[in-house]
Structure 1
Amino acid sequence: MFWKRKKRETAEFKCPECGKVHSEWPALTFKSLANYDFLSDKEKTELGKLDSDFCEIHYEDQIHRFVRVTLTQKVNDTCENLDYGLWVSLSEKSYSDYKSNFDNEKHETGYFGWLCNIIPEYRDTMSIPCNVMTKTGNNRPEIFPHQDFDHPFVKDYYDGITKVEAEKRINEMLKNVG
């Protein structure tokens, strides 16, 4: 168990990567996207290009393009939110625009994208449509799932989740990392 409670109700966790104790909730991050994870090691070497912010998969007849994004999940019974580090696919035009403006601290725009991670608490979360909004200051873009898309993940995004559920998700992810 990575959580311990103090009298003032501050959650703490020990990070399995750095070994330090943190008092804020960690972001639930995915280092890569499901489309890349599904590739064999040979395919990753031959077809894939993955870094911390961009991924391309070069198939014989097309290139799939992805960027790393954030999502902030409302937690109803606390003042904290649960942050995710996710991946979305973008069109060639949107990907090129984002990549060419990656170092532009004043670049603000929106794109359409598809979620490309499988979030364990939900059935298949691949291909949930999202608005992808860039931010000034070179922060990663934030995504907003389309509210009219019928999926439990989208419903929870707009309605919020409980603190117990948020802590369960954090503990589960930390258990799988450590």
Structure 2
Amino acid sequence: MKTLLLKPALVVSLLAVLAGCGSSPVYKEEGFKKETPYQRAVDQPPAKACDAAQRALLSQGYRIETSDGQAIHAQKLFQPDDEVNATIDFFVTCKDHDGGSMVFANAVETTYALKKTSGATGFSVAGAGSITMPWSKSADSLVKVAGQTIADGKFYQRFFDLISTYLGGKAR
């Protein structure tokens, strides 16, 4: 009986094709709707709106990574359990709009899991071959396991409501 041996390149190509068959492109779900949870109009100029957004984020424990007056990147770290870490990266942009400004917000949640690796120490001796010693080493590292834009309208509503308190009024 003859056995079939596949070349490594053919195996890798076959696996890549099979992996591509199982998922559809995410852009097909993009609706580009006019009404979204990611934006609110306010009656203040962009600089004041972004200042209120920055204050809202700071009041909730976010660390401001960058801010230029009309754009903010803030981050908050979480540790839901011993081997999982998560971050929320919050992005805010304030643009002129109808005598006030439009505040755009987008938050991305990224999850990391602890990956443990271990190994033994080995060395080669000329003429004797390689020797593996029982001294082990282990390393822990965080590996990204998920990342997704937060799409929950209530999440953004709470954020925009808090901004409105810093603006002394209501978001439209």
Does TM, normalized by the shorter one, top 0.5? Answer: no
Give the structure-2-normalised TM-score. 0.29
Greater strand share, structure number: 2
Question: Which TM-score applies when normalising by structure 1?
Answer: 0.29
